[in-house]
């Protein structure tokens, strides 16, 4: 066999294996697709420093980078297996078996898959090895036409099986379900955002973040696809009465709308992982009171359809003034699929990883001693209230401006609220910035300060003080384990 042909046999066999796995997964659980299962397990097992590096370097493109990286590694292995098997099919067979075992291990590791899910990597392994050995006997230098035909048949079959699996696996009509939910009408609407709440003209974000611009952070390589009609939420553990609620039940209750700013703990000083929406949902404390929380429960442990978990303090989620929601809607529409359709938790004042479970299906009342949420064994803290913070949005770092320039940005201190933002130029005295209208402690607050600066380079810093009188500290601390601190600072040039 020529090197080219040998490499091609390897590639085509692996493609057939992955496609077969994808097709079978469509029937037994789409996330059992070996490629996705290995990717998701890789995400779960990635050591925290590597994960932090990936998030820092690739931001929310980290998943795309992972998928492309995996494709490259698998293709390289396939080529190597092909080349090593020019004399005998044994090396390729062994590699096929090893890849199959990795797929089985990955599916076993997935918390959201039953044993039926194993059929997908098993099918992949069997098809991969079978096809490889068949091609090996079929493809021979003296049989040019037949060889080419065999390769084409397998390649074509893989494309058909892969696409078929993709179509079948995404056949759950989530968008149809979202559309049929229709308008979610809150009984209590959020107060209108007053004029002057944002300084978008001076470069801050708009007060409400449009859904398409809302930051997105999750571990899901393929977004869980749940239909509202099929969804249920179980409330159990240390409760007087176990509850199972469905979508019709929840949406039939008095829905409230609240303006809430969500924040990610991995946000660096000055970072983008913060957004604000009008969330519509059922007050979480009402559902928990209905279940009757026993006094020894100190943790609300929430689980998503894809097995991700978060633990929130019971006193926080039971506090009616805090305003935690089982959210069904966001900015006037049902939750977008990537933001948790049909339902998610939103808890003002807690970072997302300890509260904001998307695609939530299970609420267990338990203790912090008994259960640990997803991120805890990856170095992050058990309790993570959002830290008082401020960010400069304009001018941009390293930009050039005129001498008359308005510095503007956002500050947040959920659930207390921002009382003051100060700005200083080149280490000079602190100057108090003008604040945007106050939309309540659960939401961010915009600020601006006009300056008149001499030509040359300038450094501007900001710091926020919350309504308890606490001022954001200068000390720079990394996001891990419980959120970054430090003053955001930018350098720019006045021409
Ligand atoms: N199911 C699930 N829910 C999740 C996560 C996740 O990985 N899986 N990530 C959490 C984190 S870390 C944050 S910051 C918020 C982000 O919510 P968003 O993507 O809607 O902005 O969701 C939280 N809920
Ligand atoms: Mo997060």
CB of 308 shorter than 6 A to ligand 1: yes
Are 321 and 271 in contact, with CB atoms under 8 Å apart?
no
CB of 218 shorter than 6 A to ligand 1: yes
Query: What is the whole-number distance in angstroms between the Cα of residue 488 and the centre of ligand 1?
Result: 25
Query: What is the whole-number distance in angstroms between the Cα of residue 218 and the centre of ligand 1?
Result: 5
Query: What is the whole-number distance in angstroms between the Cα of residue 353 and the centre of ligand 2?
Result: 5
Low-confidence ranges of the chain (pLDDT < 70): none
Query: What is the whole-number distance in angstroms between the Cα of residue 201 and the centre of ligand 1?
Result: 30
Residue 256 falls in which region: left (phi positive, over 0), alpha (psi -120 to 50) or beta: beta
Question: What average pLDDT does the structure give for the chain?
Answer: 95
How many Cβ atoms from other residues are within 10 Å of residue 495's Cβ?
8
Query: What is the whole-number distance in angstroms between the Cα of residue 142 and the centre of ligand 1?
Result: 57
Residue nearest to atom 7 of ligand 1 (CA): 218
Residue 58 falls in which region: left (phi positive, over 0), alpha (psi -120 to 50) or beta: alpha
Q: At what angle do helices 62-84 and 3-28 cross, to 10 degrees?
A: 130
How many Cβ atoms from other residues are within 10 Å of residue 395's Cβ?
24
How many Cβ atoms from other residues are within 10 Å of residue 94's Cβ?
14
- Ligand with the closest atom to the CA of 340: 1
Q: What is the DSSP annotation of 382-403?
A: S--BPPPEEEEEESPTT-EE-S
CA separation for the pair 41, 35 (Å, rounded): 10
Are 278 and 208 in contact, with CB atoms under 8 Å apart?
yes
- Nearest Cα residue to 95 out of 83, 77, 108: 77
Q: What is the DSSP annotation of 294-343?
A: -TT--EEEEEETTS-EEEEEHHHHH-TTT--EEEEEETTEEPPGGGTTT-
CA separation for the pair 88, 368 (Å, rounded): 56
288-306 burial, b if ≥16 CB within 10 A, otherwise e? beebebeeebbbbbbbbbb
Residue nearest to atom 24 of ligand 1 (CA): 357
Residue nearest to atom 9 of ligand 1 (CA): 218
CB of 356 shorter than 6 A to ligand 1: yes
Percentage, residues of the chain above pLDDT 90: 87
Q: Which atom of ligand 1 is nearest to the CA of 216?
A: 19
Count of residues making up the chain: 495
Query: What is the whole-number distance in angstroms between the Cα of residue 242 and the centre of ligand 1?
Result: 26
Query: What is the whole-number distance in angstroms between the Cα of residue 359 and the centre of ligand 1?
Result: 10
- Nearest Cα residue to 161 out of 191, 131, 203: 131
Tokens representing 382 are 């058990």
Q: CA 164 → CA 21, 125, 159, 280, distances in Å?
A: 11, 19, 8, 37
Are 133 and 95 in contact, with CB atoms under 8 Å apart?
no
CB of 262 shorter than 6 A to ligand 1: yes
Residues 6 or more apart whose Cβ sits within 8 Å of residue 123: 20, 21, 23, 24
CB of 463 shorter than 6 A to ligand 1: no
- DSSP type of residue 478: -
Query: What is the whole-number distance in angstroms between the Cα of residue 77 and the centre of ligand 1?
Result: 34
Q: What is the pTM of this model?
A: 0.92
Residues 6 or more apart whose Cβ sits within 8 Å of residue 318: 285, 288, 289, 293
Coil, strand, or helix at residue 38? Answer: helix
What pLDDT is recorded for position 490? 98
Domains of the chain: residue spans and CATH: 3-169 (no CATH), 180-378 (3.90.420.10), 389-494 (2.60.40.650)
Q: CA 447 → CA 391, 418, 470, distances in Å?
A: 10, 10, 18
What pLDDT is recorded for position 50? 87
What pLDDT is recorded for position 115? 87
- Ligand with the closest atom to the CA of 209: 1
CB of 357 shorter than 6 A to ligand 1: yes
Q: Which atom of ligand 1 is nearest to the CA of 217?
A: 19
Q: Is the bond preceding residue 415 a cis peptide, omega within 30 degrees?
A: yes
Residue nearest to atom 20 of ligand 1 (CA): 339
Q: Which atom of ligand 1 is nearest to the CA of 375?
A: 12
Q: CA 66 → CA 33, 74, 127, distances in Å?
A: 16, 12, 25
What pLDDT is recorded for position 473? 98
Longest dimension (CA), the chain: 85
Q: Which atom of ligand 1 is nearest to the CA of 339?
A: 20
CB of 378 shorter than 6 A to ligand 1: no
Are 362 and 234 in contact, with CB atoms under 8 Å apart?
yes
Q: Which atom of ligand 1 is nearest to the CA of 264?
A: 14
Q: At what angle do helices 34-45 and 119-138 cross, to 10 degrees?
A: 120
CB of 359 shorter than 6 A to ligand 1: yes
Tokens representing 193 are 């955002």
- Ligand with the closest atom to the CA of 337: 1
What pLDDT is recorded for position 143? 84
Residue whose token pair is 């007060």: 207
Query: What is the whole-number distance in angstroms between the Cα of residue 351 and the centre of ligand 2?
Result: 6
Query: What is the whole-number distance in angstroms between the Cα of residue 263 and the centre of ligand 1?
Result: 10
């Amino acid at each position: 066999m020529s090197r080219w042909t040998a490499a091609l046999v390897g590639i085509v066999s692996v493609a057939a294996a992955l496609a077969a796995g994808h097709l079978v997964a469509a029937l037994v659980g789409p996330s059992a697709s070996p490629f996705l299962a290995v990717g998701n397990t890789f995400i779960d097992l990635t050591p925290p420093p590597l994960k932090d590096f990936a998030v820092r370097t690739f931001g929310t493109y980290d998943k795309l980078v992972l998928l492309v990286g995996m494709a490259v590694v698998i293709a390289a292995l396939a080529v190597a297996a092909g080349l090593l098997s020019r004399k005998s099919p044994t090396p390729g067979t062994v590699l096929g078996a090893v890849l199959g075992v990795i797929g089985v291990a990955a599916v076993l590791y997935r918390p959201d898959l039953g044993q039926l899910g194993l059929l997908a990597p098993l099918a992949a392994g069997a098809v991969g090895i079978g096809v490889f050995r068949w091609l090996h006997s079929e493809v021979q230098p003296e049989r040019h036409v037949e060889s080419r035909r065999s390769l084409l048949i397998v390649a074509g079959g893989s494309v058909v099986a892969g696409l078929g699996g993709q179509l079948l696996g995404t056949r759950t009509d989530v968008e149809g379900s979202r559309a049929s939910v229709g308008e979610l009408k809150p009984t209590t609407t959020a107060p209108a955002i007053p004029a002057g709440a944002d300084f978008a003209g001076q470069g801050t974000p708009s007060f409400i973040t449009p859904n398409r611009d809302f930051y997105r952070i999750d571990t899901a390589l393929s977004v869980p696809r749940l239909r509202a009609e099929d969804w249920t939420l179980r409330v159990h553990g240390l409760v007087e009465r176990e509850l199972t609620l469905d979508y019709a039940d929840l949406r039939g209750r008095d829905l409230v709308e609240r303006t809430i700013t969500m924040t990610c703990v991995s946000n660096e000083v000055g970072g983008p992982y913060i957004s604000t929406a009008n969330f519509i949902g059922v007050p979480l404390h009402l559902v928990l009171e209905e279940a009757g929380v026993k006094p020894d429960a100190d943790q609300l442990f929430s689980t998503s359809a894809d097995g991700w978990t978060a633990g929130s303090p019971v006193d926080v989620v039971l506090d009616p003034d805090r305003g935690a929601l089982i959210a069904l809607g966001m900015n006037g529409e049902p939750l977008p699929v990537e933001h948790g359709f049909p339902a998610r938790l939103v808890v003002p004042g807690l970072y997302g990883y300890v509260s904001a479970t998307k695609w939530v299906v299970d609420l267990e009342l338990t203790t912090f001693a008994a259960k640990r949420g997803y991120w805890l064994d990856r170095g992050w803290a058990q309790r993570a209230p959002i830290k008082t913070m401020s960010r400069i949005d304009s001018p941009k770092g390293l930009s050039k401006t005129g001498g008359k320039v308005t510095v503007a940005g956002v500050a947040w201190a959920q659930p207390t609220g921002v009382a003051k933002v100060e700005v200083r130029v080149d280490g000079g005295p602190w100057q108090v910035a003008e604040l945007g209208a106050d939309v309540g402690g659960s939401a961010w607050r915009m600020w601006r300060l006009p300056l008149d600066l001499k030509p040359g380079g300038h450094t501007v810093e900001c710091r926020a003080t919350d309504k308890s009188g606490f001022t954001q500290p200068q000390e720079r601390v990394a996001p891990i384990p419980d959120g970054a601190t430090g003053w955001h600072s930018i350098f720019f040039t006045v021409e």
